[in-house]
Structure 1
Amino acid sequence: MTHENTCAELLDQLQAVADSLPAPVFVIDYDGRYTAVFGGRFRNHYDGGLNLVGCLMQDVLPEEKWRLFLSVVRRAIDTGTLQTCDYQLASMEVGVTENDGPPGPQWFHGRIYPVMPRPGKKPSAVWLAINVSEQKTMADRLQRLSERDDLTGTFNRRYFMARLAAEVQAARREDTALCIITLDVDHFKRINDRYGHMTGDLALQHLVATLRVQLRRQDILARIGGEEFAILCLATVPTEAWTVAERLRQGIKDAPLATDHGPLRMTISLGIAAMHARETNLQALLSRADLALYQAKESGRDRTCFAAPPDPSDCQGPQDHGTNQPLPP
């Protein structure tokens, strides 16, 4: 066998290997022109890309995408190093796609490596596009499970404390107000003892559903204990937090849970704490709200109390109905 035949056979074998790759490999020159496409035969994950050969990125992709992709290609060529790029792309965004792959936007992990140019040829790079949509969906699902309470679907304590730390830093940096509301169900143990834990679970789910209707878009609700919840009120001064808390209290009172035993009426007690200008101890902030919640319970339940100053006149409940009562200084 001659040297030429050996080389030709080897090239045929390499071509067969490249074409058999499940993920597509694009060869793209410095100008952004697709000069070759290999692989990508797994149609569950990829559209056919042969129609891209000869096209410029600028002509077949949205501006935001082609600018990103071209910058990555040129960085790989200029530095002579491997580059990576994670991105989302849908068939409808590609001007000449064969549109025979998966529907809807897909997530990809791109691995881009420079190709040594032949004399007189433009430098180029190979772009391996790996569809990672399934992995990302699973990662997002695991992330959600790590942040959410199984029973109520609200955020859990772990997420709340991490978010609180971030928001306190942001509020200090931007000089904005921040408040915390803590609340729990009055006499919740009696509900479990009288109706059973299944009804108790339904009561908590009903509570959360009712709270969500009353909360503002910027309010972050989390379950931080058995029947205890916390609300992070962003960009909120104490008077606004008071209004939110009272709306929640009245909303729960006015929305009984329908059960086989008849309507189950619940009330809640709430405590409010405002972030001080130099707040750094997150647990102390949360503890002040808990102390106000304890004060609300000690004052008769079904009421809202403000953390400072700890005075009975700072409470509002069914006995005084002080909806126009000014907040303490």
Structure 2
Amino acid sequence: MIDAEQMTAVLAALPDPAFLISRNGRYVAIYGGQDERYYHDGSSLVGQYISDIIKPDKAAWFIATIERALASKVLLIEEYELSNKDVNGLPDEGPSEPIWFEGRIKALDFKIDNEDVVLWVASNISQRHELETRLRAQSDTDQLTGLFNRRRLKRELSYHFNAFRRHGYAVSLLMFDLDHLKLLNDTCGHHAGDSAIRKIAQICTETLRQTDITCRFGGDEFVVVLPHLTLEHATVTAERIRTSVEQALLNTHQLHTQENMPVSISISIGVTQISPQDGSYEQALKRADSALYQAKRGGRNQVVTA
């Protein structure tokens, strides 16, 4: 049988810190934290309160999490970040990246000083979080343009369609592609087509709001989600993109049809707004696609609404 002295030594040797914290946020005891790559000596925290150390908004989250653990009696696993801006008495200047932790919080079935307590084990997961973030970004990013890809578009459309159904704010969609891409590729090579696609992506990034979502749908086709923008304002945005592309690609390549007619590189755009009659975001996307087809049939290099 392990004795009390040995158990104390075991607890002290834990790589990750384990905190006993009362219901009202008092640090009752601290064990472990021996992995010096990530942790400093936290013994000075004993007797202090979370609200003494952490700024109000973040401290409120810690207290709420403790309350949930005490009420549920089940193990909670929470990921959270801490930075200089969260800690009282530290300057806001400091490491630009926050430290990420995984907290495992469990209510204990005894009281200390007549207070309910939880065990809170904190593990530094910053490296894992950075890797997961990088992999997630790679899986959502189109390699040619750096824009979001079709996979990310589906998530964004689903989110904004559901938000439209719940809150009723306007959501508009643009769908557009390059005019005469095949002629450009056949005449100047696929590198020229790729260059034009990248240029369009750059124009979208520079022209659109940070809250807008621009995705490469496939090939030379793009979709833009415009939250909080009505059809009227989305049409103005579409015309601004069309004009910018036309000016940027004007005379970039000298193209001629078989009839020796000069051709300019441009885009055709279909615009629509999600409506209460839509049963899914796919219906709105199909309308935008139909409007794009009409723009093509109508002579290209134009904006058509649906």
Q: TM-score scaled to structure 2, two decimals?
A: 0.83
Aligned to 1:285: 284
Q: Tell me whether 1:86 sits opposite 2:86 in the alignment.
A: no
Q: How many residues align?
A: 295
Comparing 113-122 and 153-162, the one that deviates more: 113-122
Aligned to 1:299: 298
1:137 deviation in Å?
1.8
1:187 deviation in Å?
1.0
Aligned to 1:314: none
Per-residue CA deviations over 1:224-257 (Å, capped at 9, x if unaligned) read 1200111222233332222111111110011138
Measured in 2, the distance between the counterparts of 1:169 and 1:267 equals 33
| Contact map agreement 2:173 2:272 (CA 8 A) in 1 | yes
Measured in 2, the distance between the counterparts of 1:81 and 1:281 equals 38
1:56 deviation in Å?
2.1
Residue 151 (structure 1) aligned to one of 136, 144, 147: 144
Residue 198 (structure 2) aligned to one of 180, 186, 205: 205
Residue 141 (structure 1) aligned to one of 129, 134, 145: 134
User: Counterpart of 1:272 in 2: which secondary structure?
Assistant: strand
Instruction: Flag the structure with larger Rg.
Output: 1
Comparing 82-91 and 227-236, the one that deviates more: 82-91
1:203 deviation in Å?
1.9
User: Counterpart of 1:213 in 2: which secondary structure?
Assistant: helix
Measured in 2, the distance between the counterparts of 1:166 and 1:237 equals 18
Measured in 2, the distance between the counterparts of 1:233 and 1:122 equals 51
Residue 129 (structure 1) aligned to one of 122, 132, 139: 122
1:122 deviation in Å?
4.2
Measured in 1, the distance between the counterparts of 2:155 and 2:169 equals 19
> Does the C-alpha gap of structure 1 residues 284 and 53 become closer, same or farther in structure 2, counting only changes over 3 Å?
closer
Q: Greater RCO between the two (CA within 8 Å, min separation 6)? A: 2
| Contact map agreement 1:112 1:127 (CA 8 A) in 2 | yes
| Contact map agreement 2:178 2:267 (CA 8 A) in 1 | yes
CA RMSD of aligned residues (A): 3.1
Residue pairs, 1:208-247, within 5 angstroms: 208-247=201-240
Comparing 283-292 and 66-75, the one that deviates more: 66-75
User: Counterpart of 1:150 in 2: which secondary structure?
Assistant: coil
> Does the C-alpha gap of structure 1 residues 211 and 83 become closer, same or farther in structure 2, counting only changes over 3 Å?
closer
1:197 deviation in Å?
2.4
Measured in 1, the distance between the counterparts of 2:21 and 2:165 equals 47
Structure 1: segments with no counterpart, 5+ residues: 1-5, 308-329
Aligned to 1:113: 106
